[in-house]
A and B are shown apart, each in its own frame.
Chain A
Amino acid sequence: MTTASVTAGTSRADAPPPDEPRIVPVRHWGRWIAALVALLAVGGLIGSLARNANLHWDIVGDYLFEGLIFDGLATTLWLTAAAMALGLVLGTLLAVLRLSHNPVLYGLSTLFVWVFRGTPLLVQIIFWGYAAALYKKVLIGIPFTHITFISGDTNSLLTPSVAALLALGLNEAAYASEIVRAGIQSVDAGQTEAAHSLGMRPALTMRRIVLPQAMRVIIPPMGNETINMLKMTALVSVIAAHDLMSNIQDVYAQNYQVIPMLVVASIWYLSLVSLLSLPQAWLERRYGRGQSAGGTSPLARLFSAGVLPRKAANAQAGPSKTVKDPA
């Protein structure tokens, strides 16, 4: 045996010796059965829904690409985008104020977050929708002087769309500020010190050094916030802001086809939410640059996990590939 393996070892180094036992993997019968039962249950449910006459798939089909629905969709999309933008900008500002050493600014920021997180969004939306009952006229200027920037009738300034945007955006700012604050605080204090020691001012340090690193912590929850926002825009239907849900309600108020119209709404919300997950994944990769595991695409991770051949993985995920030259 020993002499034979020495002579054979040089030519067939990789082949297992003939007397080595074969490996038999464990068969998970329980898992297979559970999966089968679950598939049957889900299949049965979908089948019964599909054959249910009360669902009126014909009506769903008629309204899925209807003009009014598209209008609502457009409103929902810009409302989501604008409210998130407002929320992120204002939220970042609030976070910076909250971390500042100025007690007044800290207090104001804390008060804002307390109020807008502490009251239901639905209440805030209705509040903005009916703000005219509180102030008949809007005057924005410098207090105790005659200088005004904006003045006008509340009802004409605060249209349902503007009220919806304000309600969603201000509410989002309160949540975003907490997320941004956690992100800023997750960045090592040594980064700020290093930036300061190079002569960078606090604002530049925040913008160029701290916030880009905080993004890693900020983006995943903000992605969730965006997806939530898309769905929460449905709430503004209470002030008839002509979003997707408002228009759906308008339709079923006339044709009484509540369930089919809700299916139309669900199909659109689901599709948009699925679409939104794509840029989120991209952003997470972009801001993960320079971190050990963050800088690779899902495809590259598939390669490096050994699912696909190694050679291709190196071509995909080599460090020089992900590093872009700024100039």
Chain B
Amino acid sequence: MTTTPQTRPGGTLTTAEAMVRAEGVRKNFGRLEVLKGIDLTVTSGQVCCLLGPSGSGKSTFLRCINHLEKIDGGRLTVSGVPVGYRQRDGRLHELREREVAEHRRSIGMVFQRFNLFPHLTALENVTEAPVRVARRQRAQVREEAMELLDRVGLADRAHHHPAQLSGGQQQRVAIARALAMKPRLMLFDEPTSALDPELVGDVLDVMRSLAEDGMTMVVVTHEIGFAREVADTAVFMDDGIVVEAGSPRDVLTRPQHKRTRAFLSKVL
């Protein structure tokens, strides 16, 4: 594990280590090879933006990180622990569902289609996992949940059901729900692509403030402006491989690769 001093946009200097490390990660769906050997490191406290054309495997890779998909080859670790396996006697033992669930608690995920629980209110969406999974005191969880909802600007909507909220509001509740488990890592899969343009800003603001607080984030996004401004590394994926990775300034402004240039010329 390499330890390098890291400067955050917020200006704080932290000692950083690899939060996510992927080495030659492969994944197939049947005969379709979706990930063909992904190499990627996300340092603790950093924001990594994944970009790439549709079908390049961005979502699949993100889902592999919290074991919603099982990898078929390579090595993938979160905080040095292999995802979905336990290393013992030089072998990787597959984890039980229970143990995988334990693992996922420290990884928050935000989905393109929000996936809020429609039968629960915004507040109940946020309190569900801390109460049922982490088995914490309900009163204290509620208090924290209200603070989180306040942070995403939705304290006044706490008792609304998802159907009574706009897309942007739902996505901010979804972020609060993920944060309630106090994750070390947050994964975002195109969090703004299902939103009307005027609602995108509120969600990006919340994500920006998370980044400023030093949350480690992997963000699949088509928001080039956000990537340029907030990301520490930008990664361009195409056809199941990482084509180009580096500082957003390099990758987004002076792309080395033809494929990156072609993609950027389309989205900008």
User: What is the interface of chain A, defined by CB distance below 8 A to chain B?
Assistant: 188, 190-191, 193-202, 204, 208-209, 212-213, 287, 289-292, 295, 319-320, 323, 325-327
Contacts and interface: CB of A to CB of B under 8 A. Distances in A.
Contact of B160 (A196, A208, A323): A323
Contact of A201 (B98, B138, B139, B177): B98
Given A290-B119, A319-B164, A323-B161, A198 B113 contact: no
Contacts of A325: 159
A198 B68 CA distance: 11
Interface in B106-132: 107-109, 111, 113, 115-121, 124, 128-129, 132
B113 A190 contact: yes
Given A190-B115, A289-B119, A327-B138, A199 B159 contact: no
A208 B128 contact: yes
A193 B111 contact: yes
Interface string B70-109: 0000000000000000000000000001100111110111
A2 B142 CA distance: 64
A304 to B, nearest CB: 15
B142 A291 contact: no
A323 B97 contact: no
A287 B116 CA distance: 16
Contacts of B119: 212-213, 287, 289-290
A319 B68 contact: no
A199 B104 contact: yes
A202 B97 CA distance: 8
A198 B124 contact: no
B115 A198 contact: no
A191 B101 contact: no
B178 interface: yes
A208 B129 CA distance: 10
Contacts, number: 88
A197 B163 contact: no
B160 A292 contact: no
B138 A199 contact: no
B167 interface: no
Contact of A199 (B105, B161, B163, B164): B105
Contacts of B177: 198
A198 B128 contact: yes
Interface string B36-73: 00000000000000000000000000000010100000
Contact of A291 (B68, B101, B105, B163): B163
Contacts of B129: 198-200
Contacts of A204: 132-133
B162 interface: yes
A213 B117 CA distance: 9
B178 A198 contact: yes
B162 A198 contact: no
B154 to A, nearest CB: 15
B129 to A, nearest CB: 4
B181 interface: yes
A209 B117 contact: yes
B117 A323 contact: no
A195 B160 CA distance: 20
A191 B119 CA distance: 11
B107 to A, nearest CB: 7
Given A196-B104, A197-B107, 20 more contacts: A190-B115, A193-B109, A195-B117, A197-B104, A198-B177, A198-B178, A199-B101, A199-B102, A199-B105, A199-B134, A200-B101, A200-B129, A200-B132, A204-B133, A213-B118, A290-B118, A291-B163, A319-B164, A323-B159, A326-B124
Nearest to A295: B161
Contact of A198 (B103, B105, B118, B160): B105
B160 A319 contact: yes
Contacts of B162: 290
A232 B95 CA distance: 48
Contact of B97 (A191, A201, A289, A320): A201
A197 B109 contact: yes
Nearest to A320: B159
Contact of B101 (A196, A209, A326, A327): A196
A291 B104 contact: no
A279 B139 CA distance: 33
A193 B178 CA distance: 13
Contacts of A287: 119
